[in-house]
Homo-oligomer: A and B are copies of this chain.
């Protein structure tokens, strides 16, 4: 038997293929082992970085975006992982698989196969941190709901109505209980990936929030080096999912990072994401500079209690990018002004934004005896705005 036999496989277009390789377990493979692969199909080549998945498992996750035969070859500082080869046949996409979403005609979106994409988004910030029972209820709700985009966080959330601990943490702990930020927790990511695939299989884009301020664990206060290592690992693991969008932050302006930090993080993703997924950064009080070239579309929270959708046409002209109002306030009955509008007013905001050429998203904050508010944890919908 050959020591390193070449792998032969088939996958459909725009779908993640996992090329699994065995490699060293000693030391800290997350930090010490390099692994990239070059895939070539006729005139085209694509460089993809692999990642360590624990237990000696290394994965190069590829989303082939052209049908035909891709020849892959690895490069690594570990001889076991170096110069391994793959022949991957990419077949045409099956119905319902239209590829990643791209900006189209300045202010709009379409899938890579040309099918128009009109975002009807919702927000369940940490539905993926609620344990399987509630998460699966959320999925059943999404099966019946009209949404095709979900804003959700990588990290767990600490906030009013959000006091529970998550099931998985993104890093391994040191013996003293502190985080070892050099060792991501593969189980955390495998769970996140499962939920991203659940969305993908339902035609729902995962508008993935990479950083956010509502934190009691320290994930909002990592050093620049820790942020970079985290983000690099996220891109290596998740970029091959066609439904991923990169939302650099929820409410970036409530975090301690500087503009230079955000720009550095953005450049990291721009240079390392082989598929150039959509990129945005969401504000609380003040917009980020949406003219920055790395920002593909505006992801906006209202900056005034009442008016938001009314500004869509101005923002279109100012930024000349798609305008997605991800928080125009939420249908609900909590005491905060951002979560107590009626279904009628919510729907009015949707239409106001739509006729002005933008895309206004949904969210719902009805009080719940177990604090299961759709806006954060998912579960079931109580309001009336989707049906309207």
**Which positions in A face B, CB cutoff 8 Å?**
42-48, 66, 102, 104-105, 108-111, 113-116, 270-274, 276
Q: Is the CB of B46 within 8 A of A46?
A: no
Q: Is the CB of B42 within 8 A of A44?
A: no
Specify which chain B residues have a CB less than 8 angstroms from the CB of A104 in the assembled complex.
113-115
Q: Is the CB of B113 within 8 A of A274?
A: no
Q: Which of B44, B102, B108, B274 contacts A46 (CB 8 A)?
A: B44
Complex CA distance for A105 and B110, rounded to whole angstroms: 12
Given A113-B104, A276-B66, verify A45-B44 contact (CB < 8 Å): yes
Specify which chain B residues have a CB less than 8 angstroms from the CB of A270 in the assembled complex.
42
Q: Which of B42, B102, B109 contacts A271 (CB 8 A)?
A: B42
Complex CA distance for A365 and B245, rounded to whole angstroms: 53
By beta carbon, the residue of chain B nearest A38 is B45
> Given A44-B44, A105-B114, 14 other A-B contacts at CB below 8 A?
A42-B271, A43-B48, A43-B272, A43-B273, A44-B45, A44-B274, A45-B45, A45-B46, A45-B47, A102-B113, A102-B114, A105-B113, A110-B110, A111-B114
Q: Which of B44, B46, B110 contacts A114 (CB 8 A)?
A: B110
By beta carbon, the residue of chain B nearest A271 is B42
For the complex of A and B, the 3 pairs showing the least CB-CB separation, nearest first, are A110-B114, A104-B114, A43-B274
Complex CA distance for A273 and B42, rounded to whole angstroms: 9
Specify which chain B residues have a CB less than 8 angstroms from the CB of A105 in the assembled complex.
113-115
Taking the closest CB of chain B, its distance from the CB of A227, in whole angstroms, is 21
* 29 contacting pairs across A/B (C-beta < 8 A): A42-B270, A42-B271, A42-B274, A43-B48, A43-B272, A43-B273, A43-B274, A44-B44, A44-B45, A44-B46, A44-B47, A44-B274, A45-B45, A45-B46, A45-B47, A102-B114, A104-B113, A104-B115, A105-B113, A105-B114, A105-B115, A108-B114, A109-B114, A110-B110, A110-B113, A110-B114, A111-B114, A114-B114, A114-B116
Complex CA distance for A274 and B273, rounded to whole angstroms: 22
By beta carbon, the residue of chain B nearest A48 is B43
By beta carbon, the residue of chain B nearest A105 is B115
Complex CA distance for A111 and B48, rounded to whole angstroms: 27
By beta carbon, the residue of chain B nearest A270 is B42
Specify which chain B residues have a CB less than 8 angstroms from the CB of A48 in the assembled complex.
43
Q: Is the CB of A43 within 8 A of B43?
A: no
Complex CA distance for A47 and B41, rounded to whole angstroms: 10
By beta carbon, the residue of chain B nearest A49 is B43
Taking the closest CB of chain B, its distance from the CB of A263, in whole angstroms, is 16
Taking the closest CB of chain B, its distance from the CB of A370, in whole angstroms, is 43
